[in-house]
Amino acid sequence: MTATEAVHGRDAMADAVNAAKMATLGALAAGVAHELNTPMGALNSNHDVLKRALARLQHILADEVVEPSELNEVRRVVAAIHDVLQVNDLAVARMVELVNSLRTFGRPDRALIDRVDLRETLESALTLLAHRTRDRITVVRELEPIPPVQCYPQEIGQVVMNLLVNAIQAIDGAGTVTVRTRALESAVQIDVEDTGIGIPEEFLGRIFEPGFTTKGSRVGMGLGLLLTRQVVERHRGRIGVRSTSGKGSLFTVSLPHTLDSGGVP
C-alpha cells in the first residue's frame, strides 16, 4: 500500500466511523434529552424556590427586626434553601457529566491521535446510554487499572459504543451487562458481556462479515460489527466473541499500548 492509498483508506474509515457516530448520537438524542430533563426540571423549580425564599426573608427583614414569632418562618425558609442548594449541586454535576460525555463522544477531532484511558471511554458511553439501561439492565463494572492506549479516540469510542448498544439490544427484558478492563503485557483488554439472547452457533463465524445481520433476533448491527472489527484491526488490535444461544454473549477487544509505524496509517 502506498502512502497516498493509506491516507485515503484512513480518510474512508474516519468518514465511516463519523457517519456511524452521528447515527448513534441521533438515536441517543431523545434519551439524552430526557436524562437532561430531570436535573433541569429540578434546577428550574429550585431557582423559583430560591426567589420565593429570598422574597420571604426580605419581607421579614423589611423592618430590620426579626420578631420571635417570625423565627420559625425564617428557619423554614433557611431549611428550604439548604435542601434546594444540595439538589442543585447534584443536578449541575449530572448535567456537566452528560455534556462532557456528549463532547467526548461527539467531538470531531478524528485526525488526532491521543493517549486514552479506556475506562473513561466506557464511562462516557454508559452515561449516554443510561436511559436505556436504568429501568431494566444492571450494569456491572469490573474495571481494573489499565495504562492509557495510543489511539484515535473517536474511533475507539465508537467501537465501545457499538459493543454496548449491541449488548443492551440483545437483552429482552431484565438482564445484566458486565464491562471489564484488564491490563495485558503490551495491550489492554475490554470485555462487554451480556445476559441476552446470544448468537446461534451457525452465525458466530459470520457476524463480522460485510452485510451480515440478524435483525429478526436483534443481535448485532450489521455494519456496526464490521466497522468495529475494521477499526480494531487498524489499531493492530483484536476482537473476539463467545456466545451461547439463549444465555448471552461476550465480546473481547484488545488494543496495544502504542501504535507503531505498522499500525494505523
Partner 1 sequence: MPESYVPAVLIVDDEEMVLTALRSFLQLETSFRVLTTTSPAGALDVIRKDSVDVIVADFMMPAMDGIEFLKRARELRPHATRILLTGYADVQNAIRAINEAGLYHYLEKPWDNDRLLLVIRNGVERSSLVNELDSRISALEAANVELFEMRKRLIKAFL
Pick the piece of the chain touching partner 1 (CB under 8 A) from 46-54, 114-122, 195-203, 226-234: 46-54
CB of 132 to partner 1, least distance (A): 12
The binding track of 195-234 with respect to partner 1, each residue x by CB under 8 A or -, is ----------------------------------------
- Of residues 20 through 39, those in contact with partner 1 by CB under 8 A are 34, 37-39
Q: Confirm or reject binding of residue 186 to partner 1 (CB under 8 A).
A: no
Q: Which of 91, 116, 187, 241 binds partner 1 (CB under 8 A)?
A: 91
Q: Which of 53, 129, 226, 259 binds partner 1 (CB under 8 A)?
A: 53
Q: Which is nearer to partner 1, 38 or 244 (CB)?
A: 38
| Whole-angstrom distance, CA of residue 190 vs CA of residue 123 | 12
Q: Which of 25, 80, 223, 250 binds partner 1 (CB under 8 A)?
A: 80
The binding track of 112-151 with respect to partner 1, each residue x by CB under 8 A or -, is ----------------------xxx---------------
CB of 29 to partner 1, least distance (A): 14
Q: What residues make contact with partner 1 under the rule CB under 8 A?
A: 34, 37-42, 44-46, 48-49, 52-53, 56, 76-77, 79-80, 83-84, 86-87, 90-91, 134-136
